[in-house]
């Protein structure tokens, strides 16, 4: 997909084979792993060529809609029923258990009081969520616009929107996925998705699919003929 829209692609391993801790009963990340994930996200953006004009952020992972739902609920309120969906297709008892995990994690975190946005990610997020949030923050420092992918990516940066007004003003929602909490989260963050195709793949795919629309919009702003140039004015 990146090739077809003329984009480059880089993959960064921030924790494959190194599980985080059980968010139900303890912080998902200790201080060292959290700092390492932040460093990885910032370094990924710093490594980009200076002629890059758009950053798409996505992730590869299994089971991380659970962490995403917990982060979204902690940042924007509500309980597991509001934010937990089937993810890769869990139903019935598995879905009920997923909601229990998120609710128990929320009880634990809310007993800690009002946490800073980064503390929420350390308590509930996987290393990929932390790295994406750090990359998006680093992109803002570079004045680099960002296209967000699906539920997990959007949840990762949602605590930043709570921390400071306009923190995500450089971000575009590439699409709205089929995960029920994604639409709720986009509404809470004031983001209008460019596409709504009921995608579930993740991995940056929905955001990449939006790139042609973004290119068309940019061209329409900077390269549109006047009536006079068309000979009709």
Active site residues: 203
Do the Cβ atoms of 195 and 176 come closer than 8 Å? Answer: yes
Neighbour-count burial for 76-92, b at 16+ CB within 10 Å, e otherwise:
beeebebbbbebeebee
- Lookup: tokens for 136: 């998006």
Tell me which residue of 126, 108, 130, 101 sits closest to 117, measured CA to CA. Answer: 130
- Lookup: tokens for 187: 């509404």
Compute, in degrees rounded to 10, the torsion defined by CA atoms 103, 177, 171, 226: -160
The 3-state DSSP class for residue 101 equals helix
What is the dihedral sign for C-alpha 205, 175, 144, 130?
negative
């Amino acid at each position: 997909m990146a090739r077809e829209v003329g984009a480059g692609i880089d993959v960064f391993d921030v924790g494959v084979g190194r599980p985080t801790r059980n968010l139900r009963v303890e912080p998902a990340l200790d201080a060292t792993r959290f700092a390492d994930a932040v460093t990885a996200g910032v370094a990924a953006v710093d490594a980009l060529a200076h002629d890059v004009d758009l950053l798409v952020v996505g992730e590869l992972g299994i089971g991380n809609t659970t962490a995403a739902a917990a982060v979204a609920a902690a940042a924007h309120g509500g309980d597991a029923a509001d934010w937990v969906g089937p993810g890769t297709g869990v139903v019935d008892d598995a879905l009920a258990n997923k909601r229990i995990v998120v609710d128990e994690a929320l009880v634990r975190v809310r007993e800690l009081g009002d946490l800073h946005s980064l503390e929420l990610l350390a308590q509930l997020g996987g290393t990929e969520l932390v790295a994406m949030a750090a990359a998006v923050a680093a992109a803002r420092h570079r004045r680099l616009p960002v296209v967000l992918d699906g539920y997990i990516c959007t949840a990762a940066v949602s605590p930043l929107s709570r921390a400071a007004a306009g923190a995500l003003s450089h971000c575009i929602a590439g699409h709205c996925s089929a995960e029920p909490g994604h639409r709720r989260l986009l509404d809470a963050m004031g983001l209008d998705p460019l596409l709504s195709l009921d995608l579930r793949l993740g991995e940056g795919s929905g955001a990449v699919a939006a790139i042609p629309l973004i290119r068309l919009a940019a061209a329409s702003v900077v390269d549109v003929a006047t009536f006079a140039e068309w000979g009709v004015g």
